[in-house]
Structure 1
Amino acid sequence: MSATTITLLFLLFAVIMFVLEKIPLGVTSMIVCIGLVVTGVLDIKTAFAGFIDSNVILFVAMFIVGGALFETGMANKIGGIVTKFAKTERMLIVAIMVIVGFMSGVLSNTGTAAVLIPVVIGIAARSGYKRSRLLMPLVFAAAMGGNLSLIGAPGNLIAQSALEEINMEFGFFEYAIVGLPILIIGILFYATIGYRLLPDHDVTEESGFDTAKDFSDVPAWKQWLSLIVLVLTLLAMIFEKKIGIKLSISGCIGALILILTGVISEKEALKSIDLKTIFL
């Protein structure tokens, strides 16, 4: 069997498994990677070269930088301030989508959704609104917000890696040329037509999420430093060509500052890294 045929068969297997999700996505990725080595299509060095790609390092660093914002409770504080001004369910949905959309653009859409789901469930419990009506806009906003920047979604950096091989690249916020209009249209849709289409049912089972996590014992300086480091890291990435520091290095510097200053512990930093995304 030719190398081309073997590659196409593994590609077909990966597509089917990604759609069905019968086994974890990361495991599917590793089966394909190892399978191509065993069948002789790739050598070991080539097969695992992606793990030391600068974009993978950037993802790891930004998971830590974003994780600090969540672990210190700063993300909850930002969400609470904005949603406090939402007087109706419709306004609350718009507020949630704006927060999640823009956070997904500068952090990670997967991580943002995972962390803010329990926050929104808690908001639903306090406000009396149906959680089913608040969670659907949150997930869509996270998906659309991931297209605002280079680091918003895994696919963005995968595309960047491919372009770098032909001496081309995207700017940090170049995705926003398309992503921002999509996010705005999505928010407007859920504020009007989509608002009437949202699921409206009660949830009887107990939630598996911790909706009342207490951040009162976290010092204010840790919360503000996590936000300051995030902003400075993003600015360094935006002006990458001006300062001459690569995106991955800027991300690593931000992550190291947060760990060395004690804003986030090593254990929390490791926990914040989404290994599924890294394997993919």
Structure 2
Amino acid sequence: MELYITVAILAFMIIMFVLQKVPMGVTTMTCCTLLAAFGILTPSEAFSGFTNESIILVAPMMALSSAITKTSIIPSVRRKVDELGSKTGMALIVFFYIIVIAFVQFIPATATFSIMVVFLATLSDEGEVTPSRLLMPMLGISCIWKGYIPIGMGATNFATVNARYSNIITEEAYLLQMFDKFKVGALPVICLTIYCLIAWKLLPRKGNVSTKGLKDVKDTPTLPKAQETLVYVVFVAVMAVLVLNKWTGKLMYIAPAAGVLALIYGKALKVPEVTKAMTADMIFLMAGVLGVASAMTKSGAGDLIGTAILNVLGGHPSSMAVMFLFSAVCIGMTTVMSNSATQNILYTVAATVCLAGNWDPRGIMLIISIANVISLGFPSGAAETALIYAAGNYKVSQVAKFTIPYIIIAVVTIAVSANFFYPIYG
């Protein structure tokens, strides 16, 4: 009976992720509550995700990253954008791409494009480089670069992914390391960046770029010089501990918390700001998924699902075929539904399949991590995608000449790179 109850709760979680009627953290907390209520897990087991090392690392890192937005870096970059308004040609394109790459490491993509769209709307639509030709490629740059560089939240990406499957596949050798995504993502990042540098000409030259309906992005007051310096020092120190985790060991998991405390005592961060960042829906989502994963392992539901999917794939499928399958399915799903829903469904499914097949899960997990943000083919893929389609007055058919080749390149390069570094048969 426990097995069927667990499968039913998992199905409920997946359906709620697709429908998104409530925040995803609420869904996972509901699942944990049900698992405890039905006796599948004890209350302490159901909510043990909150004490997981990955949560301890990620939650304060979110607060630490928010401190960067209070420094003079963001206003300085925005002023530079204004100064380059009169420039044209490839120099302008490259500069815009660099700004997007920098911004999406620290602030949400929707906020990034709220800033960039307002500026682009003032540019002329005469000549080769026009606003309607820049908007979609900038989204393409954002998709592939978001979380790629291991700084800011990108530095904890490996821990976030590990948290999604470590309760199903417990062998430590199969956990991701800090630079694994950077390594596997290099090929798709390079290929898609080159594509965006060339293929912007495929988009219509003239169009009406609109700022109507965009939320105003208010400038965050810049910290005093002393506090700003403290933010830089703390951020660099924490990043050093993360990068040198081979030597710093378990200190890696408490470094962000120590950094946040230093910023609170130094008056660079206020307690309400920290509380808001550390209680984001993402934290409840991650902790809840860990509880559901524990129940799947304990009840045998994970083995049941994994074996069923493995039977569909065949007894001994080609490693490359499996990589292509997950890459294509992930990008296909995230094109029409949210990034979060896509990854939260696929991480659990992929982990159970890998466990049943006795596969190395790292390549597949990295495929999901990289591919789930390739969401530029349809407006429903992500909030920033909807923003770009609305601001550029784009029709799906109108931009298909750009988006379809982008998606094909992404599917192929992500699968090939993941299979090269982490084939499922080791």
The TM-score normalised by the length of structure 1 is 0.79
Number of matched pairs: 273
Structure 1 residue identity aligned to 2:258: I
CA 137–17 in structure 1, closer or farther in 2 if over 3 Å, else same: farther
Contact residue 117 and residue 211 of structure 2 kept, 8 A: no
Q: Give 1:30's aligned residue.
A: 29
Q: Give 1:66's aligned residue.
A: 65
3-state SS, counterpart of residue 10 of structure 1:
helix
Structure 1 residue identity aligned to 2:73: M
CA 82–121 in structure 1, closer or farther in 2 if over 3 Å, else same: closer
Q: Give 2:112's aligned residue.
A: 116
Contact residue 94 and residue 190 of structure 1 kept, 8 A: no
Contact residue 55 and residue 157 of structure 1 kept, 8 A: yes
Q: Give 1:157's aligned residue.
A: 159
Structure 2 residue identity aligned to 1:88: T
Q: Give 1:228's aligned residue.
A: 233
Q: Give 2:193's aligned residue.
A: 187
Contact residue 100 and residue 112 of structure 1 kept, 8 A: no
How much has 1:66 moved relative to structure 2?
A: 0.6
CA RMSD of aligned residues (A): 3.4
In the alignment, structure 1 segments of 5+ residues that lack a partner are none
Whole-angstrom distance in 1 between the partners of 2:79 and 2:259: 25
Matched, 1:88 2:88: yes
Residue-by-residue CA offset, 1:137-172 (whole Å, 9 max, x unaligned): 347525543244495298742432445832233322
Whole-angstrom distance in 2 between the partners of 1:170 and 1:50: 18
Whole-angstrom distance in 1 between the partners of 2:280 and 2:140: 20
Contact residue 10 and residue 32 of structure 1 kept, 8 A: yes
% identical equivalent positions: 24
Q: Give 2:212's aligned residue.
A: 205
Bigger shift: residues 86-95 or 230-239: 86-95
How much has 1:48 moved relative to structure 2?
A: 0.4
Whole-angstrom distance in 1 between the partners of 2:207 and 2:40: 51
Q: Give 1:219's aligned residue.
A: 224
The TM-score normalised by the length of structure 2 is 0.55
CA 197–6 in structure 1, closer or farther in 2 if over 3 Å, else same: farther
How much has 1:181 moved relative to structure 2?
A: 2.7
Whole-angstrom distance in 1 between the partners of 2:198 and 2:182: 23
Bigger shift: residues 44-53 or 225-234: 225-234
Bigger shift: residues 227-236 or 161-170: 161-170
Structure 1 residue identity aligned to 2:120: A
Q: Give 1:10's aligned residue.
A: 9
Whole-angstrom distance in 1 between the partners of 2:196 and 2:64: 30
3-state SS, counterpart of residue 154 of structure 2:
coil
Structure 1 residue identity aligned to 2:196: Y
CA 273–119 in structure 1, closer or farther in 2 if over 3 Å, else same: farther
Whole-angstrom distance in 2 between the partners of 1:21 and 1:132: 32
How much has 1:196 moved relative to structure 2?
A: 2.9
Bigger shift: residues 5-14 or 114-123: 114-123
CA 18–124 in structure 1, closer or farther in 2 if over 3 Å, else same: same
CA 181–71 in structure 1, closer or farther in 2 if over 3 Å, else same: same
